[in-house]
Structure 1
Amino acid sequence: MKAIPSGIASLHAQTTPVSQLSDVQPTDWAFEALRSLVERYSCLTGYPDNTYRGNRGLTRYEFAARLNACLNSIRVELSLDELPTIQRLENEFAAELSALQGRVETLENKATELEYNQFSTTTKLSGSIVLVASDLTGDRADSNPDTRIDSNLAFNHRTRLNLITSFTGKDRLLVRLQSSNRVPNFNGISGTNTTRLSFEVGNTDNSFDLNLLEYRFPVSDRLNLYLFGNSASHHYYATVVNPFFASFGGAKGSPSRFLERNPIYRIGFISPAGIAAVYQPNKAIRLDLGYLAENAAIPTEGLFGSTYSALAQLSFKPSSNLEFGLTYLRNYSPDGNLLHRTGSLFSNIPFGTGVPLVSNAYGFEAYWQINSRMAISGWFGYIDANRVDRIDGNANTINYAVNLAFPDLFKQNAVGGLGFGMPPKVIQNTNSDREDTGTGFHFEAFYEYPLTENIKVIPGIIYLTNPDHNETNGDIFVGTVRTVFNF
């Protein structure tokens, strides 16, 4: 006889003594019958949680399966008066057992067909679509308090398809295709990088481009190496110690580019390649190392002849709800643009366009989940930039943030967020004309609400004071509603 389907057979994974069934009492009318089946015939009874669920309804198919399990497990010699009963039961449920066997054969055929026609034996496809309605209002950041932002409600998308392949079961090849119809930062109408949103990953005019090519493989149980073919960023391998606000291209968390993570992780790139390593000697300590180069594919520039960024980060996680990070990043920008694209214009281009520079950036990040319903994270970042064109020049930039997250707010798997910070600001520059004389602040709130397991809605609002760290610029409000589809 064909084996019972695993979905039914799993209900009888072990012979459980009746005395260990939590929902069966000696006073139950069927207690002796159950005990006889177990002790005399070694029938498999009970669920894995040591319950029998005797009041649960039973189909004839399920009864046939249970009967078949008992008949197959009998190991004692039956008395003559028991044989007619056994034969009668087998005859009465012959049709159900035959149908059950047919169902098993059908399932086996379908499984064979699926295996033969599957997309790949080694590659899985996943993706996310972010649909965004956004608008902003307020004073344009152009040092003129009389100009207003001319904007209308915009509707855009960011779509990603991830092809994930493993050749050994421990490695991972990630090929990401991406499409978007959004020119970043509201096409520049605000006049400041501080209004840039987290889902703005670059405009492809609705065509799919190769957005990321990454291969990760283990060297040992404690060391993983990463190879990046293009579009890499340090946060792809390094922990940013900001779990509830990290946005993953707008698919969750913060609505803004600034509060996703410390801006120093972004320094230097548009589409680099490179190599990285993650070493974890134990569960509490992690070391992230990476080197990325903007024009690695161009033979005349390669890994070391153009914009590069090298990161070293040590993070300490003494418990599951507490983490600290110390970050160092060195960057060379021959065009003079740090390209973190947050904060003021001067914090991105401290000495002017085309003035080459070397920068050393330092960061401290922290995260503490106070309890199951509240977490706090934050950082401080410092950038020391120096001209390298035989003219003395130095600029210092700082930024900081504090974020509050409220997991399971009003609904399981929902997240509420409140964020505050100061985007990158130049506090000292040998060229005093390129210092930020004012101080602007960033406030935001969002609520990540899951409609289903694969669909969520994330409304958010951003309030900016003294945008671009210029006191002549009036306040700006930004509103967004993201609808995210994951598959």
Structure 2
Amino acid sequence: EQVTSISQFSDVRPTDWAYQALSNLIERYGCVAGYPDGTYKGQRAMTRFEAAALLNACLDRVTEVTDELRRLMAEFEKELAVLKGRVDGLEAKVGELEASQFSTTTKLRGEASFMLAGSPDFTSPRLNSDGTRPADPDETTVNYDVRLSFDTSFTGKDLLRTRLRAGNFSSLPFREGVFTLDKATGTADSVNIDRLFYRFPVADSFNVTVGALVRNTEMLSFIPSAYKSDILDYFGLAGASGTYNKATGAGVGVSWRQQVEKGNPYLTFDANYVANNGFADSSIGAFSSDSGINALTQLGYRGQNWGLALGYRYGTENSSQRNANFSSRVPDGGDTNSLSIAGYWSPVDSNWIPSISLGYGYNWASGGLDDSQSWMAGLQWSDVGWAGNAAGFAVGQPPFTGGENNSMLYEIFYRFQVTDNISITPALFYADEPATNRFNDAWGGVIQTTFRF
């Protein structure tokens, strides 16, 4: 007789290889019968008559199900017609949207940062043209920095980047000087294009970057530092602001990476050329000394959780010079050479051991400029408190020549990763007798809230 549950067979066990298939035939289609003694005899050979009887019973049940579906379709024919019409309408609208969208290969990436910052007792060393002293830049301020990047790929391996940026920072103390913030920009509340370049591969190991607005440090394979506070600008430059001077303008760069098996250490080499006056005045030749030429090279060796790099930069007159003031240019008739060595190591797993970053730079110059050197050391812990949060401490000396210009700089921060897209970073920083505060001690703090989308 027809059985209704596989448990009715005394000789069928869940460990049998066809148990699930037999269960489906019994409980879903009800087309399996056993022997009078309550057994299925699954190990015994089947006769052709038995096979025909089983197949016939199952086909009858499938036909019954099909007939039920036909009756349901007939009963809900009007409703199905309405749904089909709606689906056809949605498909037509999606087609119109795809045809009229900006680009199927362009993605928008945005970053908006709000900074509540202050630096008590910070005094401007400058005077107005009439001899009066400007307002002291020591008030608590609220500033913003907004970046919108349009990243376009035509082949899946190349990148055309157009970035818009706006901010309302004034000069001192956070857009120049020893307390220059990483995200400080001053555009008088207007929106400017601050990146426009194209990167493409020319072989498995080589990438080429060309642009009318490109930054030399962004054409490197990597910056040899694991310290990422995004607070003070100096501590993001591997202790060598002379080499990694963030020169931005018309430029071209080549990057090479050794091809190795995944997980193995590899060599990198980068060379780039940036005329940092080229974007300010298009009448200046990109290959003349007036254009502020920056030639940067880096030889690096990198593993999964460590890296080491040797860097060198040559700068002509008018090239960007990130000295103790962090905002000057090489004077007419002068030039600079900067050499650096830097490296980092990070623990593979998050624990109480921090990542370690060390960097040193030496700068020699002509045209009345003094030789200088700089260094930094940074520790950063990940997943502090809970996953995603980070904390760090850094100490160093921006380019110093000895004597009075020998300031030490300190920074400590804690980053709350509120969500995947929102972070809040309180930080404190201190400098002893910096030149940009008339050789008086200075300290400051910031609460930086960043939204990424």
The TM-score with structure 2 as length reference comes to 0.75
Q: Distance in 2 between matches of 1:277 and 1:456?
A: 34
Q: Distance in 1 between matches of 2:203 and 2:214?
A: 26
- 8 Å CA contact 1:137–1:478 kept in 2: the answer is yes
- 8 Å CA contact 1:185–1:200 kept in 2: the answer is no
Deviation of 1:133 after TM superposition, in Å, equals 0.8
Question: For residue 264 of structure 1, what is the aligned residue in structure 2?
Answer: 242
- 8 Å CA contact 1:328–1:362 kept in 2: the answer is yes
Instruction: Return the letter of the residue paired with 2:379.
Output: L
The percentage of counterpart residues that share the same residue type is 24
Deviation of 1:294 after TM superposition, in Å, equals 2.6
Match of 2:296 among 301, 311, 315: 311
Question: For residue 209 of structure 1, what is the aligned residue in structure 2?
Answer: 192
Match of 1:135 among 106, 115, 118: 118
* Aligned CA distance change for structure 1 residues 108 and 359 (closer, same or farther; 3 Å): same
- 8 Å CA contact 1:367–1:378 kept in 2: the answer is yes
Question: For residue 451 of structure 2, what is the aligned residue in structure 1?
Answer: 485
Over the aligned positions, Cα root-mean-square deviation in angstroms equals: 3.6
Q: Distance in 2 between matches of 1:382 and 1:78?
A: 89
Structure 2 segments unaligned to the other structure (5+ residues): 1-12, 29-54, 127-134, 261-265
Question: For residue 397 of structure 2, what is the aligned residue in structure 1?
Answer: 422
- 8 Å CA contact 2:208–2:253 kept in 1: the answer is yes
1:21-69 CA-to-partner distances (Å, cap 9, x unmatched) read xxxx9389xx94566449999xxxxxxxxxxxxxxxxxxxxxxxxxxxx
How many residues in Structure 1 have an aligned counterpart in Structure 2? 389
Question: For residue 8 of structure 1, what is the aligned residue in structure 2?
Answer: none
* Aligned CA distance change for structure 1 residues 195 and 79 (closer, same or farther; 3 Å): closer
Question: For residue 31 of structure 2, what is the aligned residue in structure 1?
Answer: none
Deviation of 1:118 after TM superposition, in Å, equals 2.4
- 8 Å CA contact 2:306–2:344 kept in 1: the answer is yes
Question: For residue 380 of structure 2, what is the aligned residue in structure 1?
Answer: 405
Match of 2:365 among 385, 389, 409: 385
- 8 Å CA contact 2:407–2:432 kept in 1: the answer is yes
Q: Distance in 1 between matches of 2:275 and 2:27?
A: 74
Say yes or no: does 1:331 pair with 2:315. Answer: yes
Q: Distance in 1 between matches of 2:26 and 2:58?
A: 16
Is the partner of 1:259 in helix, strand or coil? helix
* Aligned CA distance change for structure 1 residues 327 and 93 (closer, same or farther; 3 Å): farther
1:27-426 to 2 correspondences below 5 Å: 32-33=19-20, 36-37=23-24, 79-83=58-62, 85-87=64-66, 90=69, 102=84, 108-109=91-92, 111-138=94-121, 140=123, 151-186=138-173, 193-201=177-185, 203-230=186-213, 232-245=215-228, 253-261=229-237, 262-267=240-245, 269=247, 271-283=248-260, 284-296=266-278, 298-299=282-283, 301-306=285-290, 307-317=292-302, 319-333=303-317, 335=318, 338-340=320-322, 342-344=323-325, 354-373=331-350, 374-387=354-367, 395-426=370-401
Q: Distance in 2 between matches of 1:110 and 1:275?
A: 43
Structure 1 segments unaligned to the other structure (5+ residues): 1-24, 42-75, 246-252, 388-392, 428-435
Is the partner of 1:395 in helix, strand or coil? coil
Is the partner of 2:99 in helix, strand or coil? helix
Is the partner of 1:137 in helix, strand or coil? coil
Deviation of 1:276 after TM superposition, in Å, equals 0.3
Q: Distance in 2 between matches of 1:136 and 1:114?
A: 50
The TM-score with structure 1 as length reference comes to 0.70
- 8 Å CA contact 2:243–2:338 kept in 1: the answer is no
- 8 Å CA contact 2:122–2:137 kept in 1: the answer is no
Deviation of 1:466 after TM superposition, in Å, equals 2.1
- 8 Å CA contact 2:215–2:246 kept in 1: the answer is no
1:59-112 CA-to-partner distances (Å, cap 9, x unmatched) read xxxxxxxxxxxxxxxxx8763542355336635875699599858757645543
1:195-226 CA-to-partner distances (Å, cap 9, x unmatched) read 1111113x111111111111001111110000
* Aligned CA distance change for structure 1 residues 371 and 268 (closer, same or farther; 3 Å): closer
Determine which structure has more spread, i.e. the larger CA radius of gyration: 2
* Aligned CA distance change for structure 1 residues 113 and 386 (closer, same or farther; 3 Å): same
1:377-433 CA-to-partner distances (Å, cap 9, x unmatched) read 12101101122xxxxx56321110111111121222222121111111014xxxxxx
Say yes or no: does 1:449 pair with 2:432. Answer: no
- 8 Å CA contact 1:222–1:280 kept in 2: the answer is yes
* Aligned CA distance change for structure 1 residues 469 and 84 (closer, same or farther; 3 Å): closer
Deviation of 1:150 after TM superposition, in Å, equals 5.5
- 8 Å CA contact 1:254–1:446 kept in 2: the answer is no
- 8 Å CA contact 2:226–2:346 kept in 1: the answer is no
